[in-house]
């Protein structure tokens, strides 16, 4: 699957998506670099504070550019309330 240009496009493929793909789509929407591991961790912390259910992903997609070790990925449901919480993240 090609990388989504934004979160709405990502939602068209699957209702549940992993946080790495969501992070990259959000950064793409905002014209930001997604490869910052510290910002990704802050994004995960934001989701947890907002009450988004983070289900540990058993499969971590191979994504080059983050670091030598792939970061943790979680599965979340991309419904409207969750998308609103995702978009409220300020880096």
Q: According to the model, what pLDDT value does residue 50 have? A: 97
Token couple for 3? 């990388």
Q: According to the model, what pLDDT value does residue 60 have? A: 60
* pLDDT at residue 15 is higher than 80: yes
Q: What is this structure's pTM?
A: 0.85
46 burial class (0-12, 13-18, 19+ CB within 10 angstroms)?
middle
pLDDT band, residue 63 (cuts 50/70/90): low
* pLDDT at residue 56 is higher than 70: yes
Percentage, residues of the chain above pLDDT 70: 84
* pLDDT at residue 27 is higher than 70: yes
60 burial class (0-12, 13-18, 19+ CB within 10 angstroms)?
middle
* pLDDT at residue 82 is higher than 90: yes
Determine the length of the chain.
91
């Amino acid at each position: 699957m090609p990388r989504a240009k934004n979160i709405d496009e990502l939602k068209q493929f699957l209702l549940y998506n992993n946080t790495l793909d969501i992070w990259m789509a959000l950064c793409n929407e905002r014209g930001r670099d997604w490869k910052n591991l510290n910002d990704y961790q802050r994004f995960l912390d934001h989701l947890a504070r907002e009450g988004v259910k983070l289900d540990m992903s058993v499969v971590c997609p191979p994504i080059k550019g983050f670091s030598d070790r792939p970061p943790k990925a979680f599965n979340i449901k991309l419904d409207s309330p969750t998308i609103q919480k995702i978009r409220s993240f300020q880096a």
